[in-house]
Copies of this chain bind each other. A is one copy, B any other.
Amino acid sequence: MQLSDLISDIGRRARVASRSLSNLSTETKNAILRAMADELLVREPAILEANAKDVAGATDRGLAPAAVDRLKLTSARLRAMAEGVRHVAGLPDPVNEVLDAWTRPNGIRISKVRKPIGVIGIIYESRPNVTSDAAVLCIKTGNAVILRGGSESLHSNLAIAEAMQAGGVRANLPADSIQLIPVTDRDAVRMMAQMDEFIDVLVPRGGKSLIEAVVSNARMPVIKHYDGVCHIYVDETADVEMAARILINAKCQRPGVCNSAECLLVHRDIAEAFFKTAVPLLAAQGVELRADEESFKQLAALEYPSLARATDEDYKTEYLALILSVRVVPELGAAIDHVEHYGSHHSDAIVTEDAINAERFLNEVDSATVYWNASTRFTDGAEFGFGAEIGISTDKLHARGPMALPELTTYRYLIRGEGQIRE
């Protein structure tokens, strides 16, 4: 079979599945999810065997040990995966929630009701647990899902997807509700992106070139999970200790994720005091600083051990590492301008004791999540209390910021009348 026929066949099957799926009761869907979790455990030997192939392949290709470890499944990790599936079964089902209802003067009753989107395409490059995490959220919300994972975890992903589909079918999951594209080259992504007849939305999670392949080809809506060039702005009246604590948390707690800080902006009048407090903490964490001229002088005077000049490119860069760009600004407006110009509109924070400045920052910084006196690391479905997340949307439409079950639904207007016609 040609690749294009394979992909469109998968799309056609998903569309058929989605029609049955969309009308399953919450009880049936939850039973399906529990059966999926059971099957993941039953198939432990097969899944770990498939995973061993991926791990061997990755080792052979010289993947970094940390990356190989992220790829690796163990009995404990598989149990955690099944537990994650069970957890979603326990969450409220957003489908059929009545969002609004009203009666018009002519007597027609209008209700706006949450409904499944239809078919969701998830394109990802990361660890095999995304296969189950993403699939289960789609099924919970009555959507068919087409998964396209990365090449390094193909065997694991196939084994996990097959287990979920097979387990689900025992509990009345429609055939083809969960399908994984068994081909990982970029052509498959481009073909998915053209298939707006069968896929209602694409959710790409990954690096720049993957996102670009989706965005430049997609005919359907795309909800990108893209980069986070996040800022911490230390305002003139900041509590210096608090600001240092927030900065260290935002930069160092988990530098490889999108909600970690990449740039520090400091008001000129507090820079000296702030650097005095923050420099030993940053140095202790081994953070490399890339500084503008003004902060470079001050940091050099404090003998910061790992210091370089920042380029314009630095300020646009998501390091995902223990590197921080630094800039001194003359006033709040300049900080906001910097964030708007260089940032990625993901998560940005102001640390200040001045409520007026804080509210101005909250109002004028156009990012998915904007913080006053808290770490950007809170941009996360679990931290927001959403129970589960499909990721962090860096788009503005339909879903912005942490994206949970309700964001995997659309709505319909249902109108009930007694024969009304338009005059």
Which residues on A are within 8 Å of B, measured CB to CB? 19, 22-23, 102, 104, 108, 110, 115, 117-118, 196, 200-201, 215-216, 219, 221-223, 239, 242, 245-246, 248-250, 253, 340, 358, 362-364, 366-375, 377-379, 383-385, 395-398, 400-402, 410-422
Contacts and interface: CB of A to CB of B under 8 A. Distances in A.
Nearest to A377: B422
A415 B385 contact: no
Given A374-B416, A412-B366, A412-B370, A104 B385 contact: yes
A397 B400 contact: no
A146 to B, nearest CB: 16
25 contacts: A19-B340, A23-B363, A102-B385, A215-B219, A216-B219, A221-B395, A221-B398, A248-B421, A249-B421, A249-B422, A253-B421, A253-B422, A366-B412, A369-B414, A370-B412, A370-B415, A372-B417, A373-B420, A375-B421, A375-B422, A396-B410, A400-B410, A400-B411, A400-B412, A401-B412
Given A19-B340, A397-B410, A378 B117 contact: no
Q: SS class of chain A's interface: helix, strand, loop or mixed?
A: mixed
* Number of copies of this protein chain within its complex: 2
Nearest to A201: B397
A216 B196 CA distance: 11
B196 A215 contact: yes
Given A110-B384, A358-B416, A383-B422, 9 more contacts: A19-B366, A117-B396, A221-B221, A221-B395, A368-B413, A372-B417, A373-B417, A374-B418, A374-B421
Contacts of A420: 373-375, 378
Contact of A373 (B115, B370, B419): B419
A113 to B, nearest CB: 9
B414 A370 contact: yes
A276 to B, nearest CB: 19
Contacts of A363: 23
Contact of A412 (B104, B248, B369, B398): B369
A408 to B, nearest CB: 11
Given A104-B384, A239-B419, A422-B249, A397 B117 contact: yes
A3 B16 CA distance: 45
A273 to B, nearest CB: 17
B221 A366 contact: no
A117 to B, nearest CB: 6
B419 A246 contact: yes
Contacts of A115: 366
Contact of A422 (B242, B378, B400, B402): B378
6 closest residue pairs by CB, A with B: A374-B417, A249-B421, A377-B422, A242-B419, A398-B398, A397-B398
Contacts of A215: 196, 219
A371 B102 contact: no
A378 B105 CA distance: 13
A143 B176 CA distance: 42
A375 to B, nearest CB: 5
A118 B396 contact: yes
A398 B378 CA distance: 25
A82 B395 CA distance: 35
A96 B239 CA distance: 29
Contacts of A201: 396-397
Contacts of A421: 245-246, 248-250, 253, 374-375, 377
A419 to B, nearest CB: 4
